[in-house]
Amino acid sequence: MSTPDDVDLDRVWANVAAEVWRRQPGRVERTAARLLKSPGLARALLTTPSLLLPWLIATVVVLGAGALAQVAAGQPLVWLIAPSLAAVGIAYAYGPGIDPAWELSCSMAVSDRMVLLTRAVVVFAANALLGLVASAATIGTAASAGTVTLTFAWLLPMTAICALALAVAVAARSASAGAGAGVAAWIILVLARGLASAPSGAPGSAPGVQLTAAITDANLYLPYLAVAVCCAAAVIYATRPQRGPQ
Amino acid sequence: MNIELSDLTRKFGRTIAVDGVTLDAGPGVLGLLGPNGAGKTSLLRMLATILPPSSGDLRLLERDPARPAQRREIRRRLGYLPQNLGYYPSFTVVEFVEYFALLKEMPPHIVPKAVATAIERVELGAKAKAKLRTLSGGMLRRVGIAQAIVNEPQLLLFDEPTAGLDPEQRVAFRALMRYFGQTATVIVSTHLVEDVGAACTEVALMSEGKIAFRGTPEELTARGVDHGVGDAPLERGYSAVLAAARSAS
């Protein structure tokens, strides 16, 4: 069978292949592309390691187990787990060693700073949402002491811990360093405030109440806010576009 | 000129990776040769706008990459294949190439055809829907080449592109470089002197961060006429220039 001389078979095949191989973006990707006004940024968001389904399932399982333990045993696990889970997720959102094609991504028109900040915001929002659902499920248990305020109070320390994890991850160019810093800071803070607020002469007599001191102590709210703002400023500064020779 | 470098320097602490390089290049294929640690990859990363220079002037595609808005314009017209191409194991070939087409801010409506064309150019059509984790090293290299050319770049940078390719694929890749070299500036950093002889219109040889030689492959060959080291004429030229540069420093 012959073809007319003016038919470019390569071009015809490219059109056919484009139709056959065309990938239809899912609803989430289409919505993200509309909101972010960038299909590239939307696609980059959906490849975030800490937003992939296995990671989200693991987060749900951990928070679910924490909520069950809180309901059954009265231990304030959701409040203690949620900030460190979010910090690890934020640290593992973007960076060398985490994103396989990180160097290539740095040469793209969609700026890596926008990718980092977008991913960080969405990971934070996802973790806050999951934490709130788990926390809301425990309202009325002994550990929540029946107060709705306590149920939401961990959001502020979570913000500070996440900002710290992101700042360390960006500065050290290491997700593990960021995650380690966030988790370590949270553990130290919880233990330090728990020990400081423990009733004298009865160490460990009411561990639930003491362990929540890092969340319930109103004197800490301003320092949390200050840490969050400072760390966010550090991230924005460290990822600023280079304007000239270094 | 698509590339204009003037006294470009890049330092890492006390180490000078690129030492006062002055270079310009228009359309064509420029081979960047040199031993390990000569500064080829650092120079290529500066041209890819990933690494800012420590000092000197750099203009790409008649734009200043130090200015964010102009850098973005350069990146839309840039194709880059890094030495170590990371990949997403769960992506298919099409998804991977499409992802970088979108990150290069290509208009979404032209992306499917551009992706198909790029994949066909590297002869991976039969593997278009295959997951990257199932591909061989040579195929992954070709996927990397496909993402680099998907936007029909005006500036194309390849760092060791033929590593892992078999002889037949290397021949095909050289043809691809020559094709893009007709309209774009293609810079290829390689250890393989035969790639340079077969595909490059010009050669720059780097030694200790400096350009020790700039000329055509024939001129490099001529430098090695009385030099005994090397199997092929071009290799003898390479060795002769390198020996001269080392004895001068």
Q: For residue A62, give its domain range.
A: 21-238
pLDDT value of residue A208: 46
Does B116 contact A21 at a Cβ distance shorter than 8 Å? yes
Q: Is the pLDDT of residue A228 over 90?
A: yes
pLDDT value of residue A246: 47
Does B120 contact A14 at a Cβ distance shorter than 8 Å? yes
Does A107 contact B125 at a Cβ distance shorter than 8 Å? no
- Cα within 13 Å of Cα(A15), Cβ side: 5
Highest mean pLDDT: which range of A11-25, A67-81, A122-136: A122-136
Top-confidence residue, A126 or A205? A126
Q: Which residues make beta-bridge pairs with B11?
A: B16
Q: How far apart are alpha carbons B212 and B196 in whole angstroms?
A: 16
Q: What is the ipTM of this complex?
A: 0.89
Share of chain B above pLDDT 90, in %: 73
* Domain count of the fold of chain A: 1
Q: How far apart are alpha carbons A111 and B104 in whole angstroms?
A: 10
Mean pLDDT of B17-25: 95
Contacts of A21 in chain B (CB under 8 A): 94, 112, 115-116, 119, 128-129
Residues with Cβ within 8 Å of B198's Cβ and at least 6 positions away in sequence, in order, are B171, B174
Contacts of B71 in chain A (CB under 8 A): 241
Q: Give the pLDDT confidence of A144-180 residue by residue, as tens digits.
A: 554 555 667 788 999 999 999 999 999 998 999 999 9
Q: Give the pLDDT confidence of A52-64 residue by residue, as tens digits.
A: 999 999 999 999 9
Q: How far is CA A42 from CA B129, B157, B170, in A?
A: 22, 26, 35
pLDDT value of residue A36: 93
For residue A30, being part of any structural domain is answered with yes
Please give, rounded to a whole number of angstroms, the shortest distance from the CA of A111 to a CA of chain B: 8
Q: How many residues does chain A have?
A: 246
Mean pLDDT of B99-124: 94
For residue B57, the chain A residue with the least C-alpha distance is: A245
Nearest CB to A103; choose among B50, B95, B129: B50
Q: Give the pLDDT confidence of B30-45 residue by residue, as tens digits.
A: 999 999 999 999 999 9
pLDDT value of residue A9: 77
Query: How are beta strands B28-33 and B185-189 bridged, if at all?
Result: parallel
pLDDT value of residue A136: 83
Query: How are beta strands B202-207 and B210-215 bridged, if at all?
Result: antiparallel
> In terms of Cα–Cα distance, which of B47, B69, B50, B75 is closest to B59?
B47
How many CB pairs below 8 Å do chains A and B form together?
Answer: 106
For residue A62, being part of any structural domain is answered with yes
Does A38 contact B71 at a Cβ distance shorter than 8 Å? no
For residue A191, being part of any structural domain is answered with yes
Q: Is the pLDDT of residue B134 over 60?
A: yes
Q: How far apart are alpha carbons B164 and B204 in whole angstroms?
A: 23
Contacts of B48 in chain A (CB under 8 A): 107
Q: Is B95 on the interface with A (CB under 8 A)?
A: yes
Q: Is B128 on the interface with A (CB under 8 A)?
A: yes
For chain A, the residues whose C-beta falls within 8 A of a C-beta of chain B are 10, 13-15, 17-19, 21-23, 38-40, 43-44, 47, 99-111, 241-246
Q: How many CB atoms lie within 10 A of CB A214?
A: 26
For residue A139, being part of any structural domain is answered with yes
For residue A43, the chain B residue with the least C-alpha distance is: B99
For residue A148, being part of any structural domain is answered with yes
Q: Give the pLDDT confidence of B65-104 residue by residue, as tens digits.
A: 999 999 999 999 999 999 988 888 889 999 999 999 999 9
For residue A5, being part of any structural domain is answered with no
Q: Is the pLDDT of residue A99 over 70?
A: yes
Q: What is the pTM of this model?
A: 0.86
Q: Give the pLDDT confidence of B203-225 residue by residue, as tens digits.
A: 999 999 999 999 999 999 998 88
Does B85 contact A101 at a Cβ distance shorter than 8 Å? yes
